[in-house]
Structure formats: C-alpha cells, structure tokens
Chains A and B, each alone.
Chain A
Amino acid sequence: MSDQGVTGQGPSGLYLFFYKTKKSLKTPMPYLAFVGIGLWLLTYFLLNEYWKVFPFYKLPGPVEVVTEWISSDPIWGTSLFTEDYYINIWVSCRRIFISFVLATGLGVPLGLFMGWSRKFKDYTFPVLETLRPIPILAWVPLAIVMFAGFETPIIFLATLASFFVTALNTMLGVESIDESYFRAAGCLGSKRRHVFIHVVVPGSLPFIFTGLQISIGVGWFSLVAAEMISGDFGLGYMIMASYMVNKYTTMVMAMLTLGFVGWITSAMVRAAGNRMMQWREKALGQGGA
C-alpha cells in the first residue's frame, strides 16, 4: 500500500475515524439510538411496574434489575461486583471464540472449494444439505454421547451451527462472482491457483462476511441452548440455573448481558469485514457521498 500514501488524498487512519465520528455526531443517528433505548425502558417500566399489565407484571421490573445489577451487595448473589458474573461471561465468550474460529476455519475453505469446483460440489453438497436442516437441539443427545465433559459437546454444537451457515454463504459468494473476472484472469495468463487466490477468495469476501455475521449469531443461539441443557458455567447456564431457583432478576440480567455481548461480537465481525474489504467500503462511500 506504499503508493496509497503518495496518491491518496484526505484524512486517513485515526484522523479519518475522528472525522467520521465528528460528522456522525452532527446527524440525528447516534441520538436516535439513545432515544430508542430510553423508550424501550420506559415501556418496560410502564407495563411492568406502573400499570402492572398482564403478563408483564410477572417479570422482574427494570428498576429492580438495574438496582441488583449495579449493587455491590446483590440480593440474589450476582451483580457487576461479583466474580461469578464475569466467569460466566468469560466462559461463554471463550466457547464462542473457539467454535467461531473452528467453524470459520472449516466452513470457509469448504465453501470456497464447493463454489470453485463443480466436481467437489457434486460430492459434498448433498451431504451438507442433508445435515444442515437438522436443528441444533436435535444434535444435543448425540453430542453428549460422543464427547465427554461439559466443554466439548457445547463447543461442538456451537461450531456445527456456525459451520453450515459459513460454508453455504461462502459457496454462494464464489458463485456470485461475475464470470468476466474469471475470464480476465484467464486471458492475463493466470494458472488455476492464481485464479483461486486473486479472484475466488477476494471476490467471495462480501458474502463470506455476511455469512460470518449470521454465523456468530447462530453460534450464540446454539451455545446458549447447549449451555442450558448441559453446562457448568456460561451465560446460558446462568439463565437456566437462576430460573431453577426462582432468581428471576438474575435471569433477566443474564439475558440482557447476553444480548449486549452478542451485539459486540457481531460488531467486531463487521469491523473485521470492513477492514478486509476496503475496496468495497471506498467504492460504496463514493457512491453515497
């Protein structure tokens, strides 16, 4: 990218980030998010604590949850100030990380080869399409039979769900590449491996990253399901364990935490995608400006 410094104009790197942040603060967009969250909390409060509408009054109220969450001496034993809260988050994040890496590491190459080679697709696609519709919950007993302990079956289940999404999206990504790029590569003297590295991989990146965002969502979904059924720690376990002993406040806390952590992981995947596809960012930016 050495030539970019010479020929590129305007802010870049951190300056560009500040410029964009400053510009976006002048639009109503970031404030709308706060207003949206505020409205949601207000509705929750009105339905639950103020008007006590059925069935919402059965939930722990927002004031109660928030008080418990930030209390240094929580009534139900878990809050921002207790260690087990962080252990549960950490355990779930570690599991998601491992299964996301595994699913991506296996799914992306498989999808690339399926999209690239007709023959390879003919071999593998029917198997994939048979296994893919099986809901992840149906795999739970098998996972427990196959793997010992808590950790491996949970990671297996989360990996499996993400893997199918990633492989399928990657394959569609390769198939979406315009034929003329293959032809251009061919008439510029490429060998097959060049076509793979310079056309197939970069050309399918937009689809791959769309797939990865869905994949990490599906990963969380399966992870929590697995943790609820068989787990020792983790946010899914925290939800189930709290429910079992009627600690509903802790349960809602775990749910909101889950939502928040899930959002952050999706944002990280999105950011990684934008970083790897600057060509796309820039082209889109031009069109919109």
Chain B
Amino acid sequence: MNTASAPSVPNPLAGAMTTGAISIRNVTKVYDPGGVNVLAVEDCSLEIAPGEVCMIVGPSGCGKTTLLNAIAGFHSITSGQIDLDGEMLCGPSKPLADQGADRVVVFQNGALFPWKTLVDNVAYGPVVQGTMTKTEARDKAVEMLVEAGLSNVAGKYPGEVSSGMARRAEIVRALINNPKVLLLDEPYRAMDGLTKSIMHESLLEVYDRTKVTIFFITHDLEEAIFLGDRVIVMTTRPARTKKIVDVKIERPRDYRLLSSEEFRVLVEETKEAVHEEAVKAFEAGERELA
C-alpha cells in the first residue's frame, strides 16, 4: 500500500522510494554476559518494504533494540541473515554489519555531539564521508535546519536548545545523508504528550517528503498506529513477531486522526496483544538487556 499509492509529483529524492527494503530472516541473537546464555531474539523474520514506516512495539527488554543494533551494525547476530535491498548486511559469514550512513540511527536519549553547534552536527555526515566540502555541507545543513523550523537555533549548541528541537535536529542530521533507512529507537520516550505530538507531525511531514523507510521502536501504541504503516508486536524475550497490525489509514495524517473511531479500534486491537506479552515479561521479572 505504501509504494504503490505514492503521489506522482516530482520528488527531489527520486529513487528513495524504491530502496530501503529490509529483509530479516530467521535472526537469532544470544548474549552471554558472564557465561550465562540469554536468548534475546529467536528465529525472528520480518520483511519491510521500501518506504514503509514499520513500528516495532513490545515489552521492555524484549529484544527490539537488539534487532535495531544488528541492522545498524552495533551488535553481531548469532544466526540468520539481514539484507538491505537484496544485499547482505549481516549473515552467517559476517555476523556484524558494517556501520554506514545508509542506515542512520536516532537514539533514545539523543546523540547530537554536544560540542558541535546544530549546523556542525548536521554537516558532520557529508563532511566525513567526503561527499561535500565543509562549506557545501554547512550551507546544506543551514538550509535543511531552516526547512525544519530550526533557523533560530541553528548556531546553538545542543545543550542550549529544548529536547524537542534537539531531536528534530538529530533527524535532520540523519536525513542530510539521504539514508535508505531511518532507525529510531524510542526517540520521543522522555517527552511530554504535547511535545510528542508536535514531533510526530514533523516526522510525518519529513516522511511524506522523503518516503524513507522507517524502522521505529516504541512503547507507545498510539504513537505506533499514528505514525506507522504496520505495527509489529513482538513477544517477550526471546523476541519473535507475535502479531502484525496493518494500519490502512491514508496519508497525510494529522492529529485529528487520534480521536477517530478507526484509530481507536486499531489501538484496542494492538493493546490486547501487547498487554498479554507485557504481563508475561513482568512475571518473568528479568532485568532489561541493552
């Protein structure tokens, strides 16, 4: 539903819609802190289409982040294979994926470099990759920050701006690299409801413009349904896909959707599946794993 119905207006990032397919096949991840094997992810398979907004929900510590870390190349996998656009990222012969700017992560607690201004943070990627000169990158960074409504704070350090602005700048820092996939690890977790809804709308706006594939981890079911094309409910550890909820709500979406019947039904449907797993996870009472 996502690529086929894409509008036919000329897109400056043409081609972005046909790339960014993630194929996760039978992935298993075993951690062994202190000689005790912990099965974080077991035989997990998931196909994400190019340009899809794929929301991953599940109880705390269920292994969602493990999956994201495997895609980003922060952690190895024990078995299985992950492909990006048909090319292997990690698999049996190469358990740890290379880190690269085609899959940029936006972190839970934010990871803008506090010692660089927002402009320099955004310009960082293209400069180190050598795709732009420093001046070009800064010009482009300023342009993109202005577009994201951050013109007043472009020259400030992350510590001087609100967390909402910082997170928005972090997404700009990811997008300047024209990534195939945006990996978001509960980026809005610590925010209040109002800020969160502003962040959601701005993310949707970014998505409608770029149609970049989004892999988004969250605890917040309303967030998941409001943003996603599909919501993947994971089981408690070891993580597997428990239920896939298709969100067939038209884009562009705005906050009015939140009070619609259609939306409420989907939330209820998802909540049941998540709640069941949350209870299991709570009863198991295990410590969260990174």
Contacts and interface: CB of A to CB of B under 8 A. Distances in A.
A203 B114 CA distance: 8
Interface in A1-57: 1, 3-4, 6-8
A191 B128 contact: yes
Contact of B128 (A1, A6, A198): A198
B11 interface: no
Given A180-B109, A184-B113, A283-B114, A189 B157 contact: no
B177 A188 contact: yes
Nearest to A178: B111
A243 to B, nearest CB: 48
Contacts of A178: 111
B195 interface: no
Contacts of A198: 113, 116, 124, 128
Interface in A258-289: 277-280, 282-284, 286
B152 interface: yes
Most buried by B among A7, A199, A284: A7
Given A189-B128, A194-B128, A282 B157 contact: yes
A180 B142 CA distance: 24
B99 A187 contact: yes
Given A7-B156, A199-B113, A286-B159, A189 B107 contact: no
Contact of A4 (B109, B142, B152, B155): B155
Nearest to B104: A187
A188 B124 contact: yes
Interface in A234-249: none
A284 B114 CA distance: 12
A6 to B, nearest CB: 7
Nearest to A181: B111
B73 A187 contact: yes
A59 B125 CA distance: 65
A191 B99 CA distance: 10
A77 interface: no
Contacts of B111: 178, 180-181, 183-184
Interface string B57-73: 00000000000000011
Interface in A181-218: 181, 183-191, 194, 198-199, 202-203, 205
Interface in B82-119: 99-101, 103-105, 107, 109, 111-117, 119
B101 A189 contact: yes
Contact of A187 (B105, B109, B142, B158): B105
A195 to B, nearest CB: 9
A6 B109 CA distance: 29
Given A189-B101, A283-B157, A183 B114 contact: no
Contacts of B151: 7
24 contacts: A3-B138, A3-B155, A4-B117, A7-B151, A183-B99, A183-B107, A184-B105, A184-B107, A184-B113, A188-B177, A189-B101, A189-B125, A189-B128, A189-B129, A191-B128, A194-B128, A202-B116, A278-B157, A279-B114, A283-B114, A283-B158, A283-B159, A283-B160, A286-B160
Given A3-B119, A198-B128, 20 more contacts: A3-B142, A7-B154, A178-B111, A181-B111, A181-B113, A183-B105, A184-B107, A184-B113, A186-B99, A187-B104, A188-B104, A188-B173, A189-B128, A198-B113, A202-B115, A279-B117, A279-B159, A282-B160, A283-B157, A283-B159
